Amino acid sequence: MPKKKLLDDMLQNPTRFYRLPADVLRDRRFADGERLEILRAWRDQDNGGDEIDALIVELEHRLTAHDHAAE
């Protein structure tokens, strides 16, 4: 399955592919931006949750730190 199609499928139903939100962070097939998309989709479909929110904050921090380091 091409990566784009896989990502689209995951965005439709993340729980079909991952048991726990933390599993998204361990998936090496995706960059942090894509992982963030998956977690946001999961939060939107599952009415959030502290674990998902914490992981989203962690990824946003990573992306911000990476952007600043690139400057």
Q: Domain of 30?
A: 3-70
How many degrees, rounded to 5, is the angle at CA 49 between CA 54 and CA 20? 80
Q: Taking a C-beta distance cutoff of 8 angstroms, is the pair 59, 29 a contact?
A: no
Banded model confidence at residue 51, pLDDT cuts 50, 70, 90: very high
**pLDDT on residue 71:** 62
Number of domains, the chain: 1
Return the percentage of the chain with pLDDT > 90, whole number. 79
Q: Taking a C-beta distance cutoff of 8 angstroms, is the pair 11, 30 a contact?
A: no
The count of C-alpha atoms lying within 13 angstroms of the C-alpha of 42, restricted to the half-sphere facing its C-beta, is 27
Q: For residues 34-54, give the mean pLDDT.
A: 91
Which token pair is 54?
């914490």
pLDDT digits (tens, 9 = 90+) for 12-30: 999 999 999 999 999 999 9
CA dist 59 and 52 (Å) reads 11
